[in-house]
Amino acid sequence: MFHRLWLLVIAAMLLSPTGASASEADIDAASRGVVRVVIFSVGRDGSVRFRSHGTGFAVAADKFVTNAHVIREAAQYRNVFVGVIPPRGDEPVVAKLVNYSRSRDLALIEVPDSLRLPPLTFVSNFTSENADVVAVGFPGVVDDVVGRGYEPTVSRGKVSQQRAVRGVDHVLHSAPIGRGNSGGPLLDECGRIVGVNTFGANSIASEGEFLFAVANSETIAFLRSNDVRPKTSDIACRTMAEIEAEEAARTEAEQKVAEEEQRAREQAEQQERERIERQIQEERENMMALAAILLVVAAGGGALAYQASQAEGGKNRAVIFGGIAGLAAISAAYVWITRPSLEDVDDRLADNADASSLLGGDEGISGLQPGMFSCTLDTDRSRVTTAPPRYVEFEWKADGCHEETQYQMRDGVWSRVFVPQEDYMVRVATIDLAKGEFRNERYLLPKVDWQKARDARMSYQPPSCGAPNASQRLSDMQEGVLSMLPDQPNERLIYNCDSN
């Protein structure tokens, strides 16, 4: 009975026509875990009455943060309750108040089961002034005009300063918020929390020039005191456009270096070729001269042999001189025939290259070889919106298997598509052995698009590791999911790997 009454209240709120909301890109990147928090009461006769609403956001699979003043009546009166309405039209649920702090104006509420909304990440070292920020929530003024829609409203502004207000650290900013935004997140450009928007116990009015958000230091301390370990990150926020521009510049610089190295190799090879040509020419001239000398010796030996054969008792001498003449003639012929040719230049260059490779050991082998990999997050090349591990270690097999998961080979890179059940996103993992790079990209999708991707993924059974033609078969299977993804991911994590 109580559950049906609660649904009636929500239905009454949502039957009004919905208006335009922030773009899907903004919502996916900046408000993926933001919910509407509704306060309602149940009368003695069973009647249900909507009282107020605010905003909250996920900090765990089943826990959400909002303002203490949003849930104040639920904390004071037994017949007043807290409801949570997930974004994108999921079914609303009744939440339980876990704890609240009046001084910090923070509250922690809990739902019975996971709503599959990814917990937001806190910036643990946010100190930037004049930084761009995004306020996400459900302001009542928007509801009054366009109706109570499912999607939160996004507004942008800048940070003015950070300061303590009555002993509590706050972020002062200019992103417009109104009644209903209370408890909503103030986000950076990467969709990470830099504060919790609040009108607070001091009744700070939205008409003021600056608005206030409880600083992360206060919120993180509050959560940890209630046994919640929030996701935190200290990596600087950068836009995907910045990442792409830097990648393009890096690729161009690498190409220039490669071209310069190629020119240097070609120049060195030309110099080596010219040296070998001079060496061969010198050897040819020396061997031709030696052949001429040997011919002279052969002629002289022949003449002496003939004279000895004509003299009395000169037979033995004739044999000796004749042998010398014959040996000299044969040697002259051998030296002449084996003299080097200019056609031998390429062979000597190849022999020198082989010798250099042997002396260089494994330097001729580029990229990673199958085995255990140790990979470190490259924060300069990554766009981080969550709290990823800085270091990962895994085994890679020659047939394209990573931890018993078969990958596909395309354009020299191994890849695998994942569509997890627990979150509205698609993850694409790639391994580039030539570059020594492991990459994870996350695409946050609206529920409808995620369901299509999920259905496409569940329509096939990936081949097991090492199965015949596994890579090509998997490539054909994954094409349907890949075709549904946006042009750019919301998060890109790049790890530089070394073989253990």
pLDDT in tens, 144-185: 433 455 678 888 889 988 888 889 999 999 888 888 899 999
pLDDT at 3 over 90: no
The predicted structure's pLDDT at residue 485: 93
* Residue 290 lies in domain: 242-364
* Burial of 327 per CB tally in 10 Å (0-12, 13-18, 19+): middle
pLDDT at 12 over 50: no
Total number of domains constituting the chain = 3
Q: How far is CA 460 from CA 303, 361, 396, 405, in A?
A: 94, 45, 24, 15
Residues 270 and 164 in one domain: no
pLDDT at 203 over 90: no
Residues 338 and 269 in one domain: yes
Q: How far is CA 176 from CA 137, 171, 183, 247, 352, in A?
A: 11, 14, 14, 34, 71
Residues 360 and 376 in one domain: no
CA separation for the pair 396, 398 (Å, rounded): 7
Residues 6 or more apart whose Cβ sits within 8 Å of residue 455? none
Question: What average pLDDT does range 415-430 have in this prediction?
Answer: 90
CATH number, domain of 75, equals 2.40.10.120
pLDDT at 20 over 70: no
Q: Which residue has the higher pLDDT, 29 or 353?
A: 353
Residues 6 or more apart whose Cβ sits within 8 Å of residue 399? 406, 465, 466, 470, 471
Lowest mean pLDDT among 99-108, 269-278, 487-496: 269-278
The predicted structure's pLDDT at residue 314: 73
Q: How far is CA 489 from CA 60, 117, 441, 453, in A?
A: 23, 18, 6, 15
The predicted structure's pLDDT at residue 355: 62
- 189, 206, 237 — which closes off a domain? 237
**Dihedrals phi, psi of 196, to nearest 5 degrees:** -115, 115
Sheet strand arrangement including 425-432: 405-406, 401-402, 391-396, 371-377, 491-499, 437-444, 425-432, 413-418, 408-410
Angle ∠(461,375,191) on CA atoms, nearest 5: 75
Task: Encode pLDDT of 70-120 as tens digits.
Answer: 999 999 999 999 999 887 666 789 999 999 999 999 999 999 987 878 789
CA separation for the pair 142, 148 (Å, rounded): 8
Q: Give me the chain's average pLDDT, please.
A: 83
- Is the distance from CB of 53 to CB of 39 less than 8 angstroms? yes
Residues 40 and 164 in one domain: yes
**Dihedrals phi, psi of 346, to nearest 5 degrees:** -65, -40
Q: For the chain, report the end-to-end CA distance as a whole number of angstroms.
A: 61
CA separation for the pair 432, 429 (Å, rounded): 10
How much of the chain exceeds pLDDT 70, in percent? 86
DSSP string, 81-150: EEEEE-GGGPPPEEEEEEEEETTTTEEEEE-SS---PPPPEEETT---SS-EEEEEE--HHHHHHH---S
Task: Encode pLDDT of 336-394 as tens digits.
Answer: 888 887 777 788 777 776 666 555 544 445 688 889 999 999 999 998 888 899 999 99
pTM above 0.85, yes or no: no
Task: Encode pLDDT of 37-81 as tens digits.
Answer: 999 999 888 888 988 899 999 999 899 999 999 999 999 999 999
- 334, 364, 394 — which closes off a domain? 364
Residues 351 and 377 in one domain: no
- 214, 237, 260 — which closes off a domain? 237
CA separation for the pair 339, 284 (Å, rounded): 5
The predicted structure's pLDDT at residue 237: 82
Task: Encode pLDDT of 439-461 as tens digits.
Answer: 999 988 877 888 999 999 999 99
Q: Is 485 helix (H, G, I), strand (E, B) or coil?
A: coil
Residues 167 and 209 in one domain: yes
Residues 399 and 309 in one domain: no
The predicted structure's pLDDT at residue 358: 52
Angle ∠(66,156,378) on CA atoms, nearest 5: 85
- Is the distance from CB of 195 to CB of 202 less than 8 angstroms? no
Angle ∠(412,415,419) on CA atoms, nearest 5: 165
The predicted structure's pLDDT at residue 14: 42
Residues 400 and 255 in one domain: no
Residues 106 and 223 in one domain: yes
The predicted structure's pLDDT at residue 147: 43
Angle ∠(215,217,219) on CA atoms, nearest 5: 75
The predicted structure's pLDDT at residue 178: 83
Give the pair of three-digit tokens for residue 399. 């047939």
Residues 6 or more apart whose Cβ sits within 8 Å of residue 225? none
Strands 231-233 and 121-123: what pairing?
Answer: parallel
Q: With bands split at pLDDT 50, 70 and 90, how would you rate the model's confidence at 23?
A: very low
Closest CA to 404 of 338, 470, 448: 470
The predicted structure's pLDDT at residue 299: 87
Residues 493 and 398 in one domain: yes
Lowest mean pLDDT among 13-17, 231-235, 288-292: 13-17
The predicted structure's pLDDT at residue 148: 53
Residues 46 and 93 in one domain: yes
Q: Is 164 helix (H, G, I), strand (E, B) or coil?
A: strand
Q: With bands split at pLDDT 50, 70 and 90, how would you rate the model's confidence at 32?
A: confident
Residues 147 and 12 in one domain: yes
